[in-house]
Amino acid sequence: METLHYEDGRLAIHKVVVGPLDNNVFVVRCKATGEALLIDAANEHEQLLELCSSLGVRQVVETHGHWDHIQAVPALREAGYEVAVTAADAGMLPSYDLLLDDDAEVRVGSIRLVTMLTPGHTPGSICFRIDGAPVLFSGDTLFPGGPGNTATELGDFETIISSITSRLFSLPDETIVMPGHGTDTTIGAERPHLDEWIARGW
């Protein structure tokens, strides 16, 4: 199965879609060292374990703690992969190893991912920006056509709008947004629609 989704001279991003809600799982791989990082151990753990083994995954990070993004966490931890999540969402996981802070660095070989805390979909939702590449992994914070769902017990619409406005829309227009479900978009494609989202309330 072809999983390559994006690449440049330094890195390759692989993508698989798993589970009943068609979750996107991404692997960021440093070409120089062969080390890789998996984003959201969502489901279908056997497929993800094969992906981890073939691509050199060293660590797993979670964009948030909703059930559809964490089903494979126990199997990956049992296989020896450390799992990181924000403190605010840690209680939603069956288990984890490390906590993610805002504006922190996650290293993948020579590749540097920078964390951006973006509460709203959940209290501890977090995005990952690749330093030196126009790529943002947005989890369920931003999709083509608007913010992630906030009509849940832990969701808050005003908070997610604030996160998108102050954090994500500070990025350049050409930034490719790779969300937790569905297709890619860009910051430039979504920014003009902010007032529409606020007016409709979701």
The confidence score (pLDDT) of residue 1 equals 72
The whole-number average pLDDT for the span 169-173 is: 98
- What is the model's pLDDT at position 97? 98
Range of the domain at 92: 4-200
Identify which of 57, 106, 55, 99 has the alpha carbon closest to the alpha carbon of residue 79: 57
Can you give the CATH number for the domain in which 131 is found? 3.60.15.10
Question: Distance between CA atoms of 76 and 82, rounded to whole angstroms?
Answer: 8
pLDDT digit string (tens) for 83-103?
A: 999 999 999 999 999 999 999
Q: Is the pTM of this model over 0.85?
A: yes
Q: Report, as an integer, the average pLDDT of 60-65.
A: 98
Q: How many CB atoms lie within 10 A of CB 47?
A: 15
In the three-class reduction of DSSP (H, G, I as helix; E, B as strand; rest coil), residue 34 is classed as coil
Q: Left if phi > 0, otherwise alpha if psi is -120 to 50, otherwise beta: which for 44?
A: left
Query: At 105, is the pLDDT very low, low, confident or very high (cuts 50, 70, 90)?
Result: very high
- Mean pLDDT of all residues in 171-186: 98
Q: Are 138 and 97 in contact (CB under 8 A)?
A: no
Domain count, the chain: 1
* CA atoms of 60 and 98, how far apart (whole Å): 10
Write the pLDDT tens digit of every residue in 126-145: 999 999 999 999 999 999 99
Structure tokens at 123: 């209290």
Vertex 48: Cα angle to 30 and 151 (nearest 5): 100
Angle at 88 (CA atoms; ends 70, 142), nearest 5 degrees? 65
pLDDT at 195 over 80: yes
pLDDT of residue 4: 98
Mean pLDDT of the chain: 97
Q: What is the mean pLDDT of residues 45-60?
A: 97
pLDDT digits (tens, 9 = 90+) for 5-46: 999 999 999 999 999 999 999 999 999 999 999 999 999 999
